[in-house]
Amino acid sequence: MRQYILVLFCSFLFFTNAFGQGTEISGKVIDAKTKKGLQAITVLLKNNENKIIAFKSSDKDGSFSLRTSKDITGAYIEVNHLGYKKKRIDGVGIGAVQTIELEENTILLEDVEIKSRPHVRQQGDTLSYNVSSFAQDEDRSIGDVLKRMPGIEVSESGQIKYQGKSVSNFYLDGDDLLKDKYSIGTKTIAHKLVQDVQVLNNHEHMKVLKNKRYTEEVAINLVIKDEAKISVSGQAKLGAGLPKQYDLESNTVLFNKRYKGLNVLQGNNIGNELQGDLVGFNSSSILARLGRTQINNLLTLGTVGNPPLAKAHYFMNNSVGVNANNMYKLKKDWQLTSNIQGVYERSTKNFAGRTTYLTENGNISFDESQYAKTREWLGSFNFALAKNIERFYFNNEFAWEYEDENSLATVTSNTSIFDLSRNHLIKGFKNKVDYVPALNNGNIIQFGWYLNYGSKPQTLEVIPGVFNVLLKEAEPYDRTIQNVEVPSWLTNLSLGYRLPKGKIGQYYSVNFIADKQNLQSDIAILDGGSPIQLDAKDTQNDMLWLRSSIGIQASYDYRYRRFSSQLILPLALQNTSYKDPLFQLSENLDKVMFSPSFSSKYNLDPENELSFNYQRSNTFGNIEDVYRGLIVRNYRMISNNTAGINESISNNFGLNYKTGRTVKLLFYNVGLTYTISQATTMISNRIEEDNSQVILVQQENEVKNYGVNVGFDKYLFNWATTIKIGSSIAWTDYNQIFNDELLPFLNTTYTISPRIEAKVWKKLNLSYFGNLGWTTTKQLKANHGLDRNTFNITQNLGFPITLFKGFHMRVSGRHLFSQQQNLKDINYLFLDTFMRYTYKKWKTDFELNITNIGNIKNFETYNINANMQSQNNYELRGRMAILKAVFNFSKKTE
């Protein structure tokens, strides 16, 4: 009996103990591949009804222990962790140690659409604008959107500036497709193709020199959307209107990693000038050197300039143009780029005016009218092979440019009538090579060679003959013919060695420059169809000109924390020689030139910068300053020179402060400038009753310029409004020789340029741009008889509105007002309207553009400048209506 009670008591203790401790299951969770324990993995114990009985997270080594007092019959362990495949273990045994191996699992997340992106982002020296944040319904091109972005301004010519500084490069996804002729890009590239606009501060184009030399350049980079990289997109525009107007265009755009292309074919007679697409904003093109400077345009039809109006109002044209820009990515990071532009234009100009010169002997006036026709061909062919990587830069650029212009004019001057013909043919080529390799020791070699040649014959014919007092002892004759030719060679060769390491970077170089020209001219007079022998000996030129220089340069870059600076010390020996046997003229001038410059900047913080610049320049006149023979410039102007080579020494100082509050989208800058230049010659103007003469004479001349400029840009988030204000004050102290009298003047100019892009109400916007200017001219040390005050204002006001989805309308006005003492006020208002309807099914926009609704056909201007007063009347285009269909297309590439 005792034994039975003892067994029963022991059994009771065992079951009691078992019931108090419950069931324990332990184990370890490891990675199936690495066999390492996994921490913080949740292990679940579930019953046969899939309900959780117990759970526990694994320790550092992956071990875990589960305890439960519930029935575990049919229970199982489950592990389900992000990044690993789901694991289930059945047949759980009491007290058994479980080793659970988990296999990695790749999870593809669904696409996430970011509906709100920051307007502007700052990352180092790069500022990124989100294009969609600034685009409006009426915008078509990226240029339209750039005008709204705070800190950025776009001129009517298409030139881009950031906080008052012109951009050095315009990139498309990092590639320099358009070079510096980028205006075609801002007008053609649809803003819907662009994700971001990046402003690259302290930009360095050569990757091998990045962060290895001082730079203040600013560049723009358009970040292209991914969908635009795989599709060819473009537009076909067909427009026609009244009176007898047409506007046609076809363009294609593709920007991917292997190929980039922007090609445009266009034609119009609505006043849209196409020549501006050939203008480079930074580097001098061949036409800039050969066709757009004084020596190349010595001969003109008349003396009047263009009115202060948008060119579409007065440019009577028929124009056709092609602009083909293509870049091919070759193997091993090589790029081949071609830029081919061609323009053919026929235009007319009709004006009448009165110019009065105020002299001590009374006023001399010219009443003139002119009707001119011009036919012009322009061509530009540019090919470049380049490689731009971190260890190496190479670029060979070849260009050929051509301009053929023929102009005819009928001019009435006082009581005389003249028929004029001017022709010129300018053609030339250039080749530019840059080779910049980095050596194994980290130093860099820089080699550059530039070669330029141009030929530029010009002819001016005037009927009846002019300047008979100077040329033929006052005897009249039927015709005057002026011929000029200036073939030119220019070469520049440089070799440098850069040591970029250390706090002070060093660069030493040697360069050689040679400029050779030959100015040939002659005047011929005819009477009755037969040439007449001229008595005057000074009617010809045959001047040989050669300027050469050899120089050395030392450059030092210093960086310390937030401060950086650059000191450039160039020293050159220059020789200028020119001779003309017709005048027994032979001159030779040697000159040692030292033109140092210093630049520095201090970053107060990542968004505030203070900079200072100083430059001393020593320049000399060119062949146009020393030719001795007479040249008939137009029907009432003849010129020559009596002085030697003009030497000018200038000292330029600049102090600038700029800031950009990226988060607040606030940008402002303040700049101070001062320039003083001293020259050894001056231009002398002599005005007589029936002609004028321009002579360069030996006369010391000092010109001082002072300036203050302020810029302010702000984007208001709540009102979706951009406010831009630019202002400046400039003083110019200069001298003028008029009829052999030296007249000192002081000009003071004040300008304010506000711009507002605002959302007024829902889909109604306001666009305003104004330019206000005050100019005061004072004659110093005299009786102030030539003092003048002028006020000018140009205002553009537009109201873009989206009436309903797909239909956009804009009503705009351009107001011009000018006021000068003793003259009639100028007050004009031009009204335009524009409508666009988008039919998505056809991917087509239908546009109606009506300009000059008031049908203003004449425009008068009045101007007083020192001792000259002018009044001009221009013929305008009048009212014009254009109906246009714009077909948009997009096709994916393979």
Q: What's the one-letter identity of residue 752? A: I
Confirm whether 496 is domain-assigned: no
Q: Which of 176, 197, 224 is the last residue of a domain?
A: 224
Contact 409, 302 (CB under 8 A): yes
Q: What CATH number should be reported for the domain holding residue 216?
A: 2.170.130.10
Of 37-46, 251-260, 684-693, minimum mean pLDDT range: 684-693
Q: Strands, E, within 96-226: which ranges?
A: 97-102, 120-123, 126-130, 152-154, 160-162, 165-166, 169-172, 194-200, 219-224
- Most confident range (mean pLDDT) of 16-30, 251-265, 819-833 is 251-265
CA distance 60 to 69: 26
pLDDT at 462 over 70: yes
Let me know if residue 190 belongs to a domain: yes
pLDDT in tens, 325-340: 999 999 989 999 999 9
Range with lowest mean pLDDT among 113-117, 214-218, 290-294, 820-824: 290-294
Q: Which of 583-587, 707-711, 888-892 has the lowest mean pLDDT?
A: 888-892
pLDDT at 690: 60
Q: State the average pLDDT over residues 536-554.
A: 91
Please tell me whether residues 86 and 128 are part of one structural domain.
Answer: no
Which of 538, 540, 541, 536 minimizes the C-alpha distance to 469?
536
Statement: residue 659 has pLDDT above 50: yes
SS3 state of residue 18: helix
The residue-averaged pLDDT of 3-9 equals: 39
Q: What is the pLDDT of residue 106?
A: 61
- The SS3 assignment for 288 reads helix
Q: What is the mean pLDDT of residues 78-83?
A: 78
Task: Tell me what the mean pLDDT of segment 704-711 comes to.
Answer: 95
In this structure, how many other beta carbons lie within 10 angstroms of the beta carbon of residue 581?
Answer: 10
The answer to whether 213 and 232 have CB atoms below 8 angstroms apart is: no
59-63, 419-423, 487-491, 655-659: least confidently modelled range: 59-63
The encoded tokens of residue 845 equal 């926009």
**If pLDDT is split at 50, 70 and 90, which confidence band does 14 have?**
very low
Residue 519: name the closest of 572, 583, 468, 462 by CA: 583
Question: How far is it, in rounded angstroms, from Cα 260 to Cα 325?
Answer: 8
Q: What is the pLDDT of residue 695?
A: 73
Last residue of a domain, one of 32, 67, 102: 102
- Check whether the bond before 606 is cis (ω within 30° of 0): no
AA identity, residue 576 = T
Model confidence at 383, pLDDT cuts 50, 70, 90, reads: very high
Q: What is the pLDDT of residue 356?
A: 75
Do 218 and 126 share a structural domain? yes
Which pLDDT band, with edges at 50, 70 and 90, does 6 fall under?
very low
pLDDT for residue 516 is more than 60: yes
Closest to 685 measured CA to CA, from 359, 460, 292? 359
Please list the helix, strand and coil fractions of the chain in percent, rounded to the nearest 5, in that order: 10, 65, 30
CA–CA gap between residue 667 and residue 333 (Å, rounded): 37
> Is residue 705 pLDDT above 70, yes or no?
yes
Statement to judge: residues 218 and 124 lie in one domain: yes
For residues 531 and 524, the answer to whether their CB atoms sit within 8 Å is: yes
Average pLDDT, the chain: 85
Residue 556 lies in a domain: no
| Displacement of CA 648 from its chain's centroid (Å) | 29
Residue 112: predicted pLDDT: 45
Mean pLDDT of the region 177-181: 89
Closest to 240 (Cα-Cα) out of 249, 231, 232: 249
pLDDT, mean of residues 644-665 = 88
Answer with the residue of higher pLDDT: 613 or 643: 613
**Spatial CA neighbour of 798 closest among 134, 136, 131, 132:** 136
SS3 category, 134: helix
Q: Which pLDDT value is given to residue 117?
A: 60
If you average pLDDT over residues 180-191, what whole number do you get? Answer: 91
Q: Is residue 173 one of the residues assigned to a domain?
A: yes
pLDDT for the residue numbered 7: 38
Residue 103: predicted pLDDT:
84
Who wins on pLDDT, 97 or 148?
A: 148
Residue 19's pLDDT band (boundaries 50, 70, 90)? Answer: very low
CB atoms inside a 10 Å sphere around CB 580: 20
Q: Output the CA–CA distances (angstroms, integers) from residue 756 to 153, 713, 830, in the order listed.
A: 12, 10, 20
Q: How far apart are CA 344 and CA 274, in angstroms?
A: 9
Neighbours of 73 (CB within 10 A): 8
Q: Which pLDDT score is estimated for 869? A: 73
In a domain, 698, yes or no: no
Is residue 394 in a domain? no
Tell me, yes or no, whether 96 and 124 share the same domain: no
* 140 and 97 assigned to the same domain: no
- Examine the domain organization and report whether 135 and 209 are in the same domain: yes
Q: Which domain holds residue 218?
A: 120-224
Q: Is residue 234 within 8 Å of residue 889, measured between CB atoms?
A: yes
Q: Does residue 160 sit in the same domain as residue 129?
A: yes
CA distances from 237 to 77, 188, 322, 887 (A): 70, 12, 15, 6
Is 564 domain-assigned?
A: no
Counting the structural domains of the chain, the total is 2
Answer whether residue 148 shows pLDDT above 70.
yes
Helix/strand/coil for 169: strand
Structure tokens at 761: 């109400």
Q: Render pLDDT for 595-612 as a digit per residue (tens, 0 to 9).
A: 999 999 998 887 889 999
To the question of pTM greater than 0.95 for the whole model, the response is no
Residue 868 has pLDDT above 90, yes or no: no
Contacts of 331 (CB under 8 A, 6+ apart): none
User: Could you tell me which residue, 874 or 363, shows the higher pLDDT?
Assistant: 874
Q: Is residue 53 part of a domain?
A: yes
Query: Cβ–Cβ contacts within 10 Å for residue 282, how many?
Result: 15
The percent of residues above 70 in pLDDT, for the chain, comes to 90
Give the model's pLDDT for residue 854. Answer: 93
Are 95 and 145 found together in one domain?
Answer: no
CA-to-CA distance for 163 and 669, rounded, in angstroms? 7
Cβ neighbours, 10 Å, residue 33 = 10
Count of other CB atoms within 10 angstroms of residue 300: 17
Per-residue pLDDT at 4 exceeds 50: no
pLDDT tens readout for residues 274-284: 988 888 887 65
Query: Do 126 and 220 reside in the same domain of the chain?
Result: yes
60 in the same domain as 29: yes
Q: How confident is the model at residue 740 (pLDDT cuts 50, 70, 90)?
A: confident
* Block residue for tokens 């199982």: 76
Which CATH number does the domain housing residue 13 bear? 2.60.40.10
Q: What is the pLDDT of residue 296?
A: 62
Domain boundary, last residue among 48, 73, 102: 102
What is the arithmetic mean of pLDDT over 779-801?
A: 80
The number of C-alpha atoms within 13 Å of 308 and in the hemisphere containing its C-beta is 17
Q: What element of type H or E holds 372?
A: strand 362-389
